[in-house]
A and B are shown apart, each in its own frame.
Chain A
Amino acid sequence: MKKRRLSTIRDKLPAALALAGLVLVWELVCLTGLVPGYMLPSPVKVVRAFVGDFGLLMENSAVTLQEAFLGLVIGVGTGFVFAVLMDAFPVVRKMFYPLLVITQTIPTVAIAPLLVLWFGYEITPKVVLIVLTTFFPLTVGLTDGFAQADADAINLLRSMGAGKLQIFRYIKLPSALPQFFSGLRIAAAYSVVGAVISEWLGGFSGLGVYMTRVRSAYAFDKMFAVIILISVISLLLMALIGLVERAMTPYRRARE
């Protein structure tokens, strides 16, 4: 166990070094004045901006996270229902699967203003946008997972007299878990980005609103601080989902 932890550290060391190197180059570029300071703030300035605005950033994060979470939960819920329906009724699948793919070609940024016009400046348009973007990877992940369930295993259960519901519970659902989680990871990242984008287009608080404000003030250091914060939040969410996945699929680590 200990050995494995050591080897993961060794695996991740190159990435950490590369990141540190990049930050160092960035700092040097700013120090030597290669790029003027008002266009590219140095990492030190970004950190200072982050610390200075910490309270404000956290307040806005809470709003954004709340939207993202709500959208994600509803997205997971509808995605699940849709996937189950498409799996149970091939007609539903034939009707809606192509439509689902088409909806994904509509750029989020293009429908966001419409949603604001329809639903106002409160939380509703944000949540709707997140549901629209997260629901797709989840539905596709689950539907594919259900479809890939082992046909022989299903036959075996049928031979034991299992009904449709039991086959779903014992075969289809557990076989779809890995795909579900890869869909969920993507959806989680989308949900944060979706929340920020919809906040740009109208709202009173949230990281997106903060972003538009500091942009109009040309506060580049704060811009960078909030951008980094957003990616950190996304990474943390994905890591959290990874942990849940590990806990729910212990058998994948059994082969040793």
Chain B
Amino acid sequence: MLEVKNVSVSFGDNHVLEDVNLTLGKGELVSVLGVSGGGKTTLFNVISGLLTPRQGSVLLDGEDITGRPGHVGYMLQKDMLLPYRTIEDNCALPLLLRGVPKKEARRQVRERLPEFGLEGTGRKWPVQLSGGMRQRAALLRTHLFSDNVALLDEPFSALDTLTRSAMHRWYLDIMERIRLSTLFITHDIDEAILLSDRICLLTGHPGRLTREFVISPARPRDPDFPMTQEFLEYKRQIRAAIS
């Protein structure tokens, strides 16, 4: 449903991405794994339409959305909840931007809050919520913006380890329920193996997608998956491929 075709990006003489091809199917979770500064975020900016590539195109359900923001939901490591809006009003933003009346937008948000584990937090301010809850609110906002594809740029890397693994489980679960497709940026190999159906390695300068790993077993996976020999084998292969 989401297709990135032959995308190259350069800033002046600095070639950041070269001939990147990527597809994301319905309900799939694909990770882009690479070192920091390797062009991962640039790739996301292209997909979200904030940046127009030097060449290549981005297709969503066959429609060309290259350089046109407003089609694909985007979520960053920072939750980017606006401190001066309540949780409800933060999540309602994408609806308001689309011209949905305020009352109706708030109603829609309130309906979805329990599903995201945010029951009773609608009227609270972002500072009153824990990091995990704030990330969930940010995800609800992303989801209300586009209910099909989410771009997540290291969304869980600012959370503490325990909250983070709880968020992993929660994310996989909600993704299944709302039938979301996810393109996930991370530099954490364990996180990528744990969550992904496929992992694409972005390496080199300019960055290219050099290898792809298909991770089995299919989701939902056993909670002990990270302790298995298979998991370690993936990890070993990926580390070898990156360095």
Interface on A for B, CB 8 Å cutoff?
150, 152-153, 155-162, 166, 170-171, 174-175, 177, 249-251, 254-255
Q: Which residue of B lies closest to A248 (CB)?
A: B84
CA distance A79 to B75 in the complex (A): 36
Q: Are A158 and B50 in contact (CB under 8 A)?
A: yes
B94 on interface, CB distance cutoff 8 Å: yes
A213 to chain B, nearest CB (A): 49
Q: Please, which residues of chain A bring their CB within 8 A of the CB of B48?
A: 159
Residues of chain A within 8 A (CB-CB) of B49 are 159
Q: Give the contacts of B100-126 with A (CB-CB under 8 A).
A: 124-125
Residues of A within 8 A of B50 (CB): 155, 158-159
Instruction: Tell me whether A152 and B80 are in contact (CB under 8 A).
Output: yes
Whole-angstrom CA separation of A170 from B127 in the bound complex: 18
Q: State whether the Cβ of B128 lies closer than 8 Å to any Cβ in chain A.
A: yes
User: Complex Cα distance A108/B146, Å?
Assistant: 56
Cα(A156)–Cα(B145), bound, Å? 11
- A255 touching B82, Cβ below 8 Å: no
User: 13 A-B residue contacts at CB 8 Å?
Assistant: A152-B80, A153-B82, A156-B80, A159-B50, A159-B72, A160-B70, A160-B73, A161-B69, A170-B82, A251-B85, A251-B125, A254-B128, A255-B127
Q: Are A174 and B84 in contact (CB under 8 A)?
A: yes
Listed residue (A152, A156, A162, A170) with the most chain B CB atoms within 10 angstroms of its CB: A156
B223 at the interface (CB under 8 A from A): no
B contact face: mostly helix, strand, loop, or mixed: loop
What A residues does B76 contact at CB under 8 A? Answer: 152, 156
A160 cross-chain contacts in B, Cβ below 8 A: 69-70, 73-74, 93-94, 97, 145
Within the complex, what minimum Cβ distance (angstroms) separates A157 from chain B?
7
A251: chain B residues at CB < 8 Å are: 83-85, 125, 127
Residues of B within 8 A of A171 (CB): 82
How far apart are the CA atoms of A66 and B83 in the complex, in Å?
37
Give the chain B neighbours of A174 by CB distance below 8 A: 82, 84-85
Q: Taking beta carbons and an 8 Å cutoff, which residues of B are in contact with A?
A: 48-50, 69-74, 76, 78, 80, 82-85, 93-94, 96-98, 124-125, 127-128, 145
Contact A158 B69 (CB under 8 A): yes
Closest to B89 in A: A170
Main secondary structure of the interface of A (DSSP, over half): helix
Q: How many pairs of A and B residues are in contact by the CB < 8 Å rule? A: 59
Q: Is B97's CB under 8 angstroms from A162's CB?
A: yes
Determine if A166 and B84 form an interchain contact, defined as CB atoms under 8 angstroms apart: no
Cα separation A159 to B145 with both chains bound (whole Å): 10
Query: What residues of A have a CB within 8 angstroms of the CB of B80 in the complex?
Result: 150, 152-153, 156
Chain A residues whose C-beta falls within 8 Å of the C-beta of B98 in the assembled complex: 161
Smallest Cβ distance from A185 to chain B, in angstroms? 19
CB distance from B125 to the nearest CB of A (A): 4
A166 with B97: CB separation less than 8 A: yes
Q: Is the CB of B93 within 8 A of A170?
A: yes
Are B93 and A157 touching (Cβ within 8 A)?
yes
Give the CA-CA distance A166 to B73 in the complex, in Å. 18
Contacts of B125 in A (CB 8 A): 250-251, 254
Give the chain A neighbours of B84 by CB distance below 8 A: 174-175, 177, 249, 251
Given contact pairs A160-B73, A161-B98, A174-B85, a sample of 9 additional A-B residue pairs in the complex whose CB atoms are under 8 Å apart: A152-B76, A157-B97, A160-B94, A161-B97, A177-B84, A249-B84, A250-B125, A251-B84, A251-B85
Closest to B128 in A: A254
Residue among A166, A251, A254 with the most chain B CB within 10 A? A251
On whether the beta carbons of A161 and B70 are closer than 8 Å, the reply is yes
Nearest chain A CB to B204 CB, angstrom units: 26
Closest to A177 in B: B84
Report how far A171 CA is from B70 CA in the complex, Å: 17
Residue of B nearest to A253 (CB): B125
- Which residues of chain A come closer than 8 Å to B73, judged between CB atoms? 160
Contact B128 A255 (CB under 8 A): yes
Q: Chain B nearest CB: distance from A182 CB in Å?
A: 16
User: CA–CA, A155 to B70, complex, Å?
Assistant: 11
Collect the chain B residues with CB atoms within 8 Å of residue A177's CB: 84
